[in-house]
Structure 1
Amino acid sequence: MDIKNYIKSRWNQHAERYDKIPAHGVNSEKDKIAVKEALKEILKEKMRVLDIGCGTGFLSLILAELGCEVVAIDLSENMMEKAKEKAEKFGYNILFKVEDAENLSFEDETFDAVLERHVLWTLPNVERAIKKWTRVLKKRGKLILIESEKKGNTANHHYDEEIAKKLPFGNGVDLEKFEEIAKSCNLTFTTKKLDCEKINLMIICEKL
């Protein structure tokens, strides 16, 4: 089974109902405010920012609200179409591209910040992904990850057991392992808790 095609297919299927699932937080005003306020402390207006795995646009829209120049990528065309509709509705000029988070096409040192929300658990090659994200960051650029901390050994939702076993962070981020990856990529590493319902861990790294 080709894991990337499987994952892409699953999220294309989820696109129509994704925003209606409360656990995803995309319709929670409380989560939106918590994320927006946290990002305001880190990002400045007109920063060029890459939103990895933008899905239906939760984070992309917040970044645009904050005055950032946003480039948003996702493997799922159907999820991204929903994000495009929202951006057009609110008049935000966001560049959307279909891209694999583990194989970015952008040139080195293109972005002031790279962000993602609840994406690491879907990746079979986390270390490769972090290296690619670091590559496209400018020096002193920020890598900001909004995630959930590891709760167990195996992911038990969205994907079948065979796929879940191939996802290193499939049931949340192992912070010790992630810190090792960050150091190997010449990134600083800090964390903070967000006042969000479920996805409440923010990992903040800086490229040295």
Structure 2
Amino acid sequence: MEDVKRHIKNYWDVRSETYDNSPGHSGLPEVWKKVLYEICGNKKLRILDVGTGTGFLAILLAELGHEVVGIDLSEKMLERAREKADKKGLDIEFMIADAENLPFDDGEFDVVVNRHLLWTLPNPQKAINEWSRVVRPRGKVVAIDGKWMEKTFEEKIRKFIGQIAIMIYQKRNPWNSKSIYEKEEINKKLPFYGGSNPEDIVNLFKNANLTNISVKNLKWIREELNKETPYLYKIAWKNKSYFLVEGYKDI
């Protein structure tokens, strides 16, 4: 398992250079700020952003007035996150940590949030158990996810078009990821490689003893994003599911 995570860390160290070029990762910050406000409200909270990457959610949460800790396996991603936070004058604690083995005490956070993370985890159930552990009683765990890849012929065509878009607009070779995730067969050790369905995450939340679990459809965000993106992205992202699952920790 450590070898799997080492490969994943190395991949995201390289991806840090172009990660924010993707509109799917960095687009619509004001829209996302409204979504986060609905999740967290206007009372100052201590929030853990798991798999923070270059700090997109962490920065928006800090701008909303919350105390934020962002963790990631990739030091290079965290370097970008710190640079962005410093430019905005935001005090965010960014640190290297494993989403499946958190270095925090029980009940240390009011909210644990993550976005686009679950597909990279070898043991998503263990991760969500950890997120539940570090949330205080009546605290909340939030996972934002979607189905990124299907096995149909149509989806294979859309994936190819998306890869062409990445080459043109993000100035990187999307096939490089195969050297880690597919050629190294890392993908076979990731249960949600390709994305997840809401019911998958709901079951994980239930197994972590989270309650009052709800699902919100976020497909409208993708539709808003598509209004601002080049045509090739519009084709590649059409009909992709996108959702938010939240659950609460009992006393």
Fold shared per TM-score above 0.5: yes
Distance in 1 between residues matched to 2:78 and 2:100, nearest whole Å: 17
- The question of 1:124 aligning with 2:122 is answered yes
The one-letter amino acid paired with 2:247 is C
Output the TM-score relative to the length of structure 1: 0.90
The corresponding residue for 2:247 is: 205
Output the TM-score relative to the length of structure 2: 0.76
The corresponding residue for 1:173 is: 196
* Equivalent position to 1:164, from 187, 190, 202: 187
TM-superposed CA distance for 1:20, in Å, is 1.1
- The question of 1:10 aligning with 2:35 is answered no
TM-superposed CA distance for 1:35, in Å, is 2.0
The corresponding residue for 1:143 is: 141
Q: Residues 150 and 83 of structure 1: is their aligned pair in 2 closer, same or farther, counting only changes over 3 Å?
A: closer
Q: Which moved more, 1:181-190 or 1:91-100?
A: 181-190
Q: Residues 150 and 187 of structure 1: is their aligned pair in 2 closer, same or farther, counting only changes over 3 Å?
A: farther
Contact 1:150 1:169 survives alignment (8 Å): no
Contact 2:201 2:245 survives alignment (8 Å): no
The one-letter amino acid paired with 1:178 is I
The corresponding residue for 2:169 is: none
How many residues are matched?
A: 204
The one-letter amino acid paired with 2:182 is D
The RMSD of aligned alpha carbons is 2.1
Structure 2 unaligned blocks of 5 or more? 152-158, 160-173, 223-236
Render the CA deviation track for 1:77-112: whole Å, top value 9, x for unaligned. Answer: 000000000100001000111001110010000000
SS in 1 for 2:192: coil
Larger Rg: 2
Q: Which moved more, 1:181-190 or 1:57-66?
A: 181-190
- The question of 1:185 aligning with 2:197 is answered no
SS in 1 for 2:119: helix
**Structure richer in helix, relative to its length:** 2
TM-superposed CA distance for 1:7, in Å, is 0.1
Distance in 2 between residues matched to 1:79 and 1:151, nearest whole Å: 24
SS in 1 for 2:216: strand
Identical positions, percent: 45
- The question of 1:67 aligning with 2:90 is answered no
Structure 1 unaligned blocks of 5 or more? none
Q: How does 1:24-173 map to 2 (within 5 A)?
A: 24-26=24-26, 28-29=27-28, 32-44=29-41, 45-149=43-147, 151-152=149-150, 158=177, 159-160=181-182, 162-173=185-196
